[in-house]
Amino acid sequence: MLYSLCATYFLMDTPPTRKLGAQRKMLYPAIDMLHMLTYNCYSEKDVNEGEGKVKGSDNQVKLVYQIIEDAGNKDTFHLSNLPLTEINKILKNLESKKLIKAVKSVPDRSVTGGAWYSDQDFESEFVEVLNQQCFKFLQSKAEAARDSKQSPMVQRNSSFATSHEVWKYICALGISKVDLSMEDIETILNTLIFDGKVEMTIIAAKEGTVGSVDGEMKLYRGVNPIIQPTGLVKTPCGLCPVFDDCHEGGEISPSNCVYMAEWLDF
């Protein structure tokens, strides 16, 4: 029945891409996406060129090629309902036509969590250090602008820094064991924006300018809060999530509070 449906569909005047898509939907129950393979499409190959080379191949070859093509820069999946010998044969056939290549399996950022995770554990201390250093850099820019004694508008403009400048500063410190991207630094800067410590503005920039994307550039600067928080809020007790459970003689008490000790040791 499956063969007759495929044959009927291919007799219709339908573009090849839609034919392949329909085939894939009909064959989809036979796919068990469980085990990772290390095969990716050549990113430099033209899609139409690839479709032309698999034209005339059987449904299994087209299906495997389509799945690898859809995977992009991520690993593709093992078709467990196909015999391993058949899978290897198809892969070698596609490799011989230079439509795919075997690459070393490198987990995607969506799987590893990127620079903020190590062995699946969130590196909160590392993130906090980056927060402090990024804010310190922007504060120094703002202080240098104020000390310049120029007009208020010039001071304000010179207090801004691009994400590329912040990225260069962090890289020069050598505090990261992993390579950080501009996107990583912008993520840190966004957390500072949410904390009310930094503000961002977007300006137009010439194409090709370092740090610009699509003719736009993000600028950041450290800011002081408009209203200073009360003294109680500044203490650990003011923001303590276990404040109601804290009492002398208990498991949580002021005498053994690590946050209070750190606050008094500044």
Q: Quote the pLDDT of residue 179.
A: 85
Q: Please give the DSSP secondary-structure letter assigned to residue 79.
A: E
Between residues 108 and 180, the one the model is more confident about: 180
What does the DSSP 8-state code read for residue 243?
G
Residue 128 has pLDDT above 60, yes or no: yes
- Supply 135's token pair: 């804010």
User: Above 80 in pLDDT, residue 16?
Assistant: no
Residues 149-176: what's their mean pLDDT? 90
Domains 2-106 and 114-228 share a fold: yes
Domain ranges of the chain: 2-106, 114-228, 230-266
At residue 57, the pLDDT reads 65
CA 204, distance to chain mean position in Å, is 25
Q: Which residue has better confidence, 86 or 77?
A: 86
Residue 34 predicted with pLDDT over 90: no
Which percentage of the chain shows pLDDT scores above 70? Answer: 63
Residue 97 CB neighbours (<10 A): 13
At 51 the pLDDT is: 53
Percentage of the chain exceeding pLDDT 90: 15
User: What is the rounded CA–CA span in Å between residue 178 and residue 126?
Assistant: 11
The dihedral formed by the CA atoms of 44, 48, 53 and 54, expressed in degrees to the nearest 10:
110
Q: How confident is the prediction for the chain on average, in pLDDT? A: 72
3-state secondary structure at position 59? helix
SS3 46: coil
Pick the CATH number of 114-228 from 1.10.357, 3.30.1380, 1.10.3470, 1.10.10: 1.10.10
* Confidence band, pLDDT 50/70/90 cuts, at residue 44: very low
Nearest to 100 by CA among 57, 44, 52: 44
User: 2-106 maps to which CATH number?
Assistant: 1.10.10.10
Distances from the Cα of 82 to the Cα of 32, 49, 91, 93, angstroms? 9, 26, 12, 16
Integer Cα distance of 60 and 54 in angstroms: 11
Q: Give the tens place of pLDDT for each residue, 68-80.
A: 777 665 555 554 4
Query: What is the C-alpha to C-alpha distance for residues 169 and 189, in angstroms, rounded to an integer?
Result: 13
- Nearest 5°: CA angle at 178, between 175 and 183? 95
For residue 27, the model assigns a pLDDT of 40
pLDDT value at residue 67: 74
Q: What is the pLDDT of residue 134?
A: 94
Q: How far is residue 159's CA from residue 146's CA, in Å, rounded to a whole number? A: 8
Q: pLDDT value at position 254?
A: 85
More confident of the two residues 96 and 105: 96
183: CB partners within 8 A, 6+ apart: none
Residue 9 and residue 19 in contact, taking contact as beta carbons nearer than 8 Å: yes
